[in-house]
Every structure is written in C-alpha cells, then in structure tokens.
Amino acid sequence: MAVILPVEGKMPTFGDDCFIAPNATIVGDVVMGNQCSVWFNTVLRGDVNYIKIGNKVNIQDNAVIHCTYQKYPTNIGNNVSIGHTAIVHGCTLHDNVLIGMGAIVMDNAVVHSNTIIAAGAVVLEDTVCEPGSIYAGVPAKKIKDISEELINGEINRIANNYIKYSGWFKDKKEE
C-alpha cells in the first residue's frame, strides 16, 4: 500500500480517477488533479513547501518531486509527463510539458507550455525555458523549436498512454 502521510497537519489530496502505485510515497501538502498517475517507487514530498499538480499528469517510476523550504514550491500544470528517475524540485512546469527520463529541473526554473526537456538534461536554477521548445544537455540549452507533430506525437501521446496504463492497474484492484 502507498505511503500517504500528513506533515504539519497537511494531508495529500487527490482528484478523481487517479492511480497511485502501491509503493509510491506521497506526503504533506500535495494537491493532485484528475486522471493523474504516480508510479512505482516515486516520491512526492510536500513537507517543506507545497506541490500542486494539474490534471492528466503522470509521474513515472523512481521520480522525485520536492520543494525548497520557505522559498520555492513546485507547480505542475495539466497534461504533463515526468519520466522515469527525473527530479523536479521547487520549480514550475506549465501545461503540455514532457520531462525526459533522468532529467533534473532545479529551483525556481520555469518550463513553459509545449516544451520537451530531453532525457538526462539538467535545467539549472532560475532558468526559463521558452514555450514550444526542446531543451537538452548539461546545463540544458534550447536546441530547437518544437513542431506541432511532436506536441501531438510525443507530449499528448505519452500523457494519454499513461491514462490507459493506469487503467490496467485500477482494473486489477477492483477485481
């Protein structure tokens, strides 16, 4: 069963039709929208500041979402995919964002809508990622504008697939 705990009197809350893996950890001031999924070994720590998550967000295996004490909360928009082992810390991700596997987004960074952060990229503190762009590297730099094809073929496809995948597990729990 998932570890879901209050911190300083603040309990995580979840929207409708969410999947929380049985070994995920979600603590403190975490507010999650509808049709979200939190996968295996993932940690969301709303202990030192808040984490707000929109609708249709998937946070994949071994990812860590955290904040900075009394400084930077974490805000995640709608239709966002956060890849396996990614770290999202004290930053803002707008709508329609894909954070690649193993990527790191650091304090006070802003990733604007329709943007892909490539696998393994490191978005440094205070970086502002332009909308409709692909960022890659260490430190992450804009490498090109994103096409409408990539928005639909990657960002939307992955978010929709994770709704489907979570359904496989929700169906098992109800049997």
The pLDDT assigned to 171 comes to: 62
The CATH superfamily assigned to 3-174 is: Hexapeptide repeat proteins (2.160.10.10)
The pLDDT assigned to 93 comes to: 98
| Cα–Cα distance measured from residue 103 to residue 137, given in angstroms and rounded to the nearest whole number | 9
Helices (H) and strands (E) in the chain, counts: 2, 19
* Beta carbons within 8 Å of 91's beta carbon, 6+ residues apart: 72, 74, 75, 105, 106, 107, 108, 109, 110, 111, 123
**What's the alpha-carbon Rg for the chain, to the nearest Å?**
15
The pLDDT assigned to 172 comes to: 59
The pLDDT assigned to 150 comes to: 85
pTM for this one?
A: 0.96
Domain boundaries, the chain: 3-174
The pLDDT assigned to 109 comes to: 98
The pLDDT assigned to 175 comes to: 43
| Cα–Cα distance measured from residue 166 to residue 175, given in angstroms and rounded to the nearest whole number | 15
Q: What is the pLDDT along the chain (175 residues), one digit of tens a residue?
A: 999 999 999 999 999 999 999 999 999 999 999 999 999 999 999 999 999 999 999 999 999 999 999 999 999 999 999 999 999 999 999 999 999 999 999 999 999 999 999 999 999 999 999 999 999 999 999 999 999 888 888 999 999 999 999 999 976 554 4
Burial of 60 (0-12, 13-18, 19+ CB in 10 A): buried
